[in-house]
Amino acid sequence: MKVAIASDHGGINIREEIKSLMNELGIEFEDFGCECDTSVDYPDYALPVAEKVANGEFDRGILVCGTGIGMSIAANKVKGIRCALVHDVFSAKVTRQHNDSNILAMGERVIGPGLAREIAKAWLTSEFEAGRHANRIGKISDYEEKNR
């Protein structure tokens, strides 16, 4: 599995925490910034990561900003992206099992690095259950095909 990770200035610490987790888990990743001391715009980081996941260059993405909200809104504009904004371990697991989420968004002003690490670990190690859930995701994909 190859993971693309990025944050804005509001998510740098959690981004570093998750990079260290992925190193421990032996998960290949690439960091797409930001290299920022000052304020940057989250769509400039969310959209390239989402495109790399949508086009198959990366299997999954992780995005961090202050709330996770801006990153998730932007990423979900890209066709084929199912970005889940998650701040608890239960949802991290279930959004992989049921929604086959391909991007995880978190907010560094909402949760601390310890919880973020547990969330990312659950999300990175849980698998899609398919079955009835695949049918539901198919309805979202069909809508995307017809309306974009």
Q: For residue 106, list its beta bridge partners.
A: 64
Please check if 8 is assigned to a binding site: yes
17 near ligand RB5, judged by CB under 6 A:
no
Q: Toward ligand RB5, which CB reaches closer, 61 or 70? A: 70
86 near ligand RB5, judged by CB under 6 A:
no
Please check if 125 is assigned to a binding site: no
d(CA 67, CA 48): 19
69 near ligand RB5, judged by CB under 6 A:
yes
Out of 53, 67, 85, 124, the only residue in the binding site for ligand RB5 (CB under 6 A) is: 67
Rounded to the nearest whole angstrom, what is the least distance from the CB of residue 70 to ligand RB5 in the complex? 3
Whether 65 is catalytic is yes
Out of 65, 75, 84, 106, the only residue in the binding site for ligand RB5 (CB under 6 A) is: 65
Which residue from 53, 91, 97, 56 is spatially nearest to 75, judged by alpha carbons?
A: 53
For 15, 26, 40, the CA distances from 95, given in Å and listed in that order, are 20, 22, 28
54 near ligand RB5, judged by CB under 6 A:
no
Please check if 66 is assigned to a binding site: yes
Whether 98 is catalytic is yes
> Which residue of the chain is nearest ligand RB5 when measured via CB?
70
Sheet with 103-107, side-by-side order of all strands = 28-31, 2-7, 60-65, 103-107, 83-85
Q: For residue 64, list its beta bridge partners.
A: 7, 106
